[in-house]
Structure 1
Amino acid sequence: MEIPDLVQQELGDEEIRGGVNLGDEDAACFTPTRTLVYRGEGLLSDEKVASYPHDFERLTVSEGRRKTKFSLIYTSEKLELSVPGSRGDAVLERLLEGKLTVSGGIAPDESLAGVFRFSELTLVVTDRQLLKHIGNVTWDADYEAFSFDDVTGLEFEEGSVATAVVLSFNERPERIKAPSEQAPMVRKTLEEALFAYHEVDSLADLNAKVGADPEKNADESGNGLGLESGIDPLVSNDEEGGDGSEAESASAGTQATTAATTEQGTTAEATTDTQSSDVTSVDTDSVEPDTSADPDIAELEAQVAELTAAVEAQNEQLQKQERTIKQLIKELRQGR
């Protein structure tokens, strides 16, 4: 695009970084700090140049049937710029790029990949971050920024009237609904920017590269964890097995205690049978032995009853420890 002489005179020491043809001889020229709009000579007016600094406080956009009007609100004034509707998106992208550069929202060497407006939502995709603004104005200082360094997943959920873009940052999903007619371009822009930034070639490769490692997160979350009731810190976060797991130790302890109880019970039964065989019948009819009269048997029964009660109490304690371990494993996997 040829730069009109009047624009060259207005530039001073600045350079033009981009331009948009507004039809006929009209053009919008963009420098790092302002937008210069050139209007060619007409039947009712002379040629002129209007300047729109990029340090505006707010930006609103009004779309008509043939024209798109931009309102730039500054601290002490309001400027308006009308362009053909077909040039509105290109001008909006350049205006936001200028605003973000001047305000420090993007780096001087950072470039915009795309700008999208959905009702009261405006998205700006750069080559290294996603910027999101929600509100009845198209842009002001109340926006959020999400670095591509923090991306941990990207998904698309297609619907009949809209597509949900689920872009996760540090495992926290940001859901964006894009109308079906704009969704393909949103997807293309996001994928191209993220693929280039993370040096991958497909969505599957991206998610594989940036996806969080649950075992690593669990290990990091477990550092310095103190456990009560004499339970040692976990060595493995595998609930179903693993060398040195507390769940296995608790289960083994239960089995050993149960085996000891069984052995004691068997001994008691054998001793009881021996004592019973020494009882002599008083007549030809069989008589049940009276074990209560034998102090040795009574003492043995008391010992077995005491041991059984102790084992049951120990089993209950081990079960509580197992439940505690399982709960800890669950919370560690959730990153608490």
Structure 2
Amino acid sequence: MEIPDLVRQELGDEEIRGGVNLGDEDAACFTPTRTLVYRGEGLLSDEKVASYPHDFERLTVSEGRRKTKFSLIYTSEKLELSVPGSRGDAVLERLLEGKLTVAGGIDSDETIAGVFRFSELTLVVTDRQLLKHIGNVTWDADYEAFSFDDVTGLEFEEGSVATAVVLSFNDRPERIKAPSEQAPMVRKTLEEALFAFHEVESLADLNAKVGADPEDGADNAGSGLGLESGIDPLVSNDDEEGEGGDDHSAERESAAPSKQTATASAGEQGTTTEATAETQSDDSVSVQSDTESVEPDTTGDPDIAELEAQVAELTAAVEKQQEQIQKQERTIKQLIKELRQGR
């Protein structure tokens, strides 16, 4: 990904450790201490860069139909970042990596293998440990860490709506319920990380090496900590952080209708211009067909000559109008696109 010049100017002595393309010219660039979000120049905004430090206290995620919104709560302020929904997981992984590095939760050379969110549980799998956070926010200081050095067994119990991951640490099982649609990726990520750490090639080899008996692990699984409630979305679109967020929620609620109105108006205008263009195009074809069918010699009739001149002038005007309509259509499409990107 090419780094915009404006981002380079903001970097200072820092280096970029990763980036996520947010569509068109927009991008999120991640340094060890902050996230720099670049927004390209558009009809509604100028080129700019926003900075989001990684020393936030809490992180909340709200997923919409097209966008994912991150709320970063600091000691004295709250910052919000919206990205396309398809880029939400990649941005979340990088944000948590930056937060955990700054807070000392992971080493600077430790890499994150995957981040998973279901119900009120967030899991972070690195190449050395499993981090678990339970709560109505996606992340804060209240999380648990389990080192792969202490693993004594791993099992998977498949169900109709969820798969139970039973991961034992020092013979104490941690029971985690993963929705069926996410369970295969959770299993793949955990197995790959643990196999690489313990230098084994299969689940049987892992359990044999760490000394776990699969039958004993199944018997003791019920004593582990886990989520027995149904699987619900972590954060709904209507649930927002209450602390310091009321003013921002009101602003977003007041801004949302205007955006929807602008989008609807733009769509109606686009429809009207298309219909006008088709009508004028048909008129132009009709006029041209009429002029081509006039074959008699009209050089001696001043009235017919004047009519021909008027037709030619009308044809030129219609063509000019068509060019203007096409230009307006391009502008409207760009406007709708930028409104959808949240600019």
TM class by shorter chain equals 0.5 to 0.7
- 2:108 corresponds to: 108
- 1:47 corresponds to: 47
Taking a change above 3 Å as real, the CA distance of residues 200 and 179 of structure 1, as seen in their structure-2 partners, is same
Kindly provide the CA deviation profile for residues 89-123 of structure 1, in whole angstroms up to 9, marking residues without a partner as x.
00000000000000000000000000000021000
TM-aligned CA deviation for residue 211 of structure 1 = 1.4
**SS in structure 2 opposite 1:86?**
helix
Instruction: State the distance in 1 between where 2:212 and 2:168 align.
Output: 11
Instruction: State the distance in 1 between where 2:85 and 2:144 align.
Output: 28
Instruction: State the distance in 1 between where 2:81 and 2:211 align.
Output: 44
Report runs of 4+ in structure 1 exceeding 3 Å deviation: none
With normalisation by structure 2, the TM-score equals 0.62
Instruction: State the distance in 2 between where 1:212 and 1:88 align.
Output: 37
Equivalent AA in structure 2 for residue 84 of structure 1? P
Instruction: State the distance in 1 between where 2:44 and 2:138 align.
Output: 33
Equivalent AA in structure 2 for residue 55 of structure 1? D
TM-aligned CA deviation for residue 31 of structure 1 = 0.2
Instruction: State the distance in 2 between where 1:58 and 1:70 align.
Output: 10
Q: Does 1:29 align with 2:17?
A: no
Instruction: State the distance in 2 between where 1:147 and 1:96 align.
Output: 18
Instruction: State the distance in 2 between where 1:14 and 1:98 align.
Output: 13
Equivalent AA in structure 2 for residue 56 of structure 1? F
Instruction: State the distance in 1 between where 2:93 and 2:117 align.
Output: 11
Task: Give runs of aligned pairs for residues 1-336 of structure 1, distance below 5 A.
Answer: 1-211=1-211
Equivalent AA in structure 2 for residue 95 of structure 1? L
TM-aligned CA deviation for residue 42 of structure 1 = 0.2
TM-aligned CA deviation for residue 158 of structure 1 = 0.3
Kindly provide the CA deviation profile for residues 49-86 of structure 1, in whole angstroms up to 9, marking residues without a partner as x.
00000000000000000000000000000000000000
Instruction: State the distance in 1 between where 2:124 and 2:35 align.
Output: 19
**SS in structure 2 opposite 1:65?**
coil
Instruction: State the distance in 2 between where 1:88 and 1:185 align.
Output: 17
Instruction: State the distance in 2 between where 1:205 and 1:212 align.
Output: 10
Equivalent AA in structure 1 for residue 49 of structure 2? V
**SS in structure 2 opposite 1:19?**
strand
Taking a change above 3 Å as real, the CA distance of residues 154 and 212 of structure 1, as seen in their structure-2 partners, is closer
**SS in structure 1 opposite 2:114?**
strand
Instruction: State the distance in 1 between where 2:23 and 2:121 align.
Output: 29
- 2:339 corresponds to: none
**SS in structure 2 opposite 1:209?**
helix
**SS in structure 1 opposite 2:80?**
strand
Equivalent AA in structure 2 for residue 164 of structure 1? A
**SS in structure 2 opposite 1:205?**
helix
- 2:244 corresponds to: none
Kindly provide the CA deviation profile for residues 192-249 of structure 1, in whole angstroms up to 9, marking residues without a partner as x.
0000000000000000000159xxxxxxxxxxxxxxxxxxxxxxxxxxxxxxxxxxxx
Identify which of structures 1 and 2 has the higher relative contact order when contacts are C-alpha pairs closer than 8 Å and 6+ apart. Answer: 2
**SS in structure 2 opposite 1:201?**
coil
Equivalent AA in structure 2 for residue 130 of structure 1? L
Equivalent AA in structure 1 for residue 103 of structure 2? S
Equivalent AA in structure 1 for residue 123 of structure 2? L
With normalisation by structure 1, the TM-score equals 0.63
- 1:296 corresponds to: none
TM-aligned CA deviation for residue 134 of structure 1 = 0.1
Instruction: State the distance in 1 between where 2:147 and 2:44 align.
Output: 50
Equivalent AA in structure 1 for residue 90 of structure 2? A
Kindly provide the CA deviation profile for residues 130-177 of structure 1, in whole angstroms up to 9, marking residues without a partner as x.
000000000000000000000000000000110000000000000000
Instruction: State the distance in 1 between where 2:209 and 2:70 align.
Output: 41
Instruction: State the distance in 2 between where 1:148 and 1:94 align.
Output: 22
Equivalent AA in structure 2 for residue 85 of structure 1? G
Instruction: State the distance in 2 between where 1:101 and 1:44 align.
Output: 36
Is the radius of gyration larger for structure 1 or structure 2?
Answer: 1
**SS in structure 2 opposite 1:92?**
helix
**SS in structure 2 opposite 1:130?**
strand
Instruction: State the distance in 1 between where 2:108 and 2:36 align.
Output: 19
**SS in structure 2 opposite 1:106?**
coil
- 1:243 corresponds to: none
TM-aligned CA deviation for residue 44 of structure 1 = 1.8
Question: Any unmatched runs of 5+ in structure 1?
Answer: 214-336
TM-aligned CA deviation for residue 30 of structure 1 = 0.2
- 1:230 corresponds to: none
